[in-house]
Amino acid sequence: MSPFALDIIVRASALLAAAALADLVLRRRSSAATRHLVWTLAIGALLLLPIASYVLPEWTVPLPITKPFARSRSPAAKPRA
């Protein structure tokens, strides 16, 4: 699978999760028309997602990766023979 397709799948999943969360929050407090609007906007954004990902500049978020913890042996920690 190409990196572009995988990127689209991850973004689409995040978009649908955000719409589902908004629907969950709006379930009891708003009308069905409002929830329908949320899902309509989400589906519209899904349709525009591949085009937007191709046209807009790339935006990468650097993830801080820590170095593995290396134990240093101090002279006091050496076993005595």
> pLDDT tens digits for the chain (81 residues)?
788 888 889 999 999 999 999 999 999 889 999 999 999 999 999 999 989 888 888 777 777 777 766 666 666 655 665
pLDDT, position 34: 95
Please tell me the pTM assigned to this model. Answer: 0.66
Share of the chain residues as helix, strand and coil, in percent rounded to the nearest 5: 65, 0, 35
Q: Of 23, 43, 25, which is closest to residue 33 (Cα–Cα)?
A: 23
pLDDT, position 31: 94
pLDDT, position 71: 64
pLDDT, position 48: 94
pLDDT, position 44: 97
